[in-house]
Amino acid sequence: MNYFITGGAGFIGANFVKYILRTHPDARVTVVDALTYAGNIDNLAEEIRDGRIRFIHASINDAEAMARAFEETEPDFVVNFAAETHVDRSITGPRVFADTNILGTMTLLEAARRAWRRPDGSWQSGKRFLHISTDEVYGSLPKEYGEPKPIAIPDDIRALVARRRDVPAAFGSGFFTEKTPLAPRSPYSAAKASADMMVMAWHHTYGLPVNITRCSNNYGPMQFPEKLIPLLINNIQQGRELPVYGKGLNVRDWLYVDDHCSAIDAVLLHGRPNEVYNIGGFNEKTNIDIVRQVVDLVAEFTGTAPRHDLITYVTDRPGHDMRYAIDPLKTAAELGWVPLTTFEQGIRRTVRWYLDNPEWVRKIVSGEYMDYYKKQYNR
């Protein structure tokens, strides 16, 4: 198959490119990335050098460039990772989030519509536009939501879930499902929710074959250091404060990036057209628990004393959502997918990767990023 991956030099996008090349060696892969602050061409240097991918330096807002790219590459699958993603940045500068996440997605949808629709109005077969979204479009769950009402895992997927021994036999009722109404609460999540609605509008209005995936918090190698886990690792090594919003009690569901990549591929190959699929990690953790675990792992791997003294509580950000939690049973039941990486496995791999790749981190943590860091945390 011919994959057209936008935002493919970013964290999840680059991991997905590597996943596809590893699991589908005959696939043709085109990567489009504007290489803004979070897009790092070094993430794909080996693949570009070896000629395993074609790289196009362009913005998804550039209609002419997107039309030309579709004509030249004739993609079967479009996977749209391209987006502004950091909530804090959306609070201080929301306009670019609308430009990229909404208007850029519209530009890409139009390029696909024009490339895949035949003159007689029919659609070329085997095409799919997959938009990568987020659980944040659903809004916020209360941390405490009353007595849980168990949702039993169906018998036909118990064997799948058994591959993850730490996955419970049932979930509580306080989880986002694909039918949960969209209720975004930050400029970032509002822009992503708007893009989701544009994707479904292009299906309902024009018949474009689409899917949307909504995932929980990703973590793993090559994540930009403004995100929590890599920020912590780098700051510990530098002896810098570890900023924690509020009391650190906000809860997120953590998904190892390779598990996310396998789910995306499953949706492309086996998902029902025009459906939304939730992708979760079965790993709910408070922010402060994450911070303490990373501190301990850095100490273990480096043979140093744990720096819990660096933990610094800072003023909470505006409108900070209390809890996100994904119900992925639809994805498991229909596609035979569950995340296979426990948090304990994934966080160890992640911390180890950053400690083993100091040059990658050094090249990232400079210039614009450091200016932003100082402005955001007043440090």
Integer distance in angstroms from the first to the last C-alpha of the chain?
Answer: 48
Catalytic residue among 76, 135, 253, 327: 135
d(CA 165, CA 231): 30
- Nearest Cα neighbor of 194 from 271, 110, 98, 260 is 98
Query: Of these residues, 33, 136, 226, 253, which one is catalytic?
Result: 136
Exactly one of 188, 219, 256, 277 is catalytic; name it.
Answer: 188
Kindly report the CA angle at 34 between 11 and 22, in degrees rounded to 5?
40
Residue type, 185: R
Burial grade of 122 (CB within 10 A; 0-12, 13-18, 19 or more): exposed
Active site residue 136: yes
What type of residue is 249?
A: L
- Per DSSP, helices labelled H in the chain are 11-23, 45-49, 63-73, 87-92, 95-97, 105-116, 158-162, 187-206, 228-238, 257-270, 287-302, 329-335, 343-356, 358-364, 368-377
**Catalytic residue list contains 275:** no
Q: Tell me which residues are annotated as active site.
A: 135-136, 188
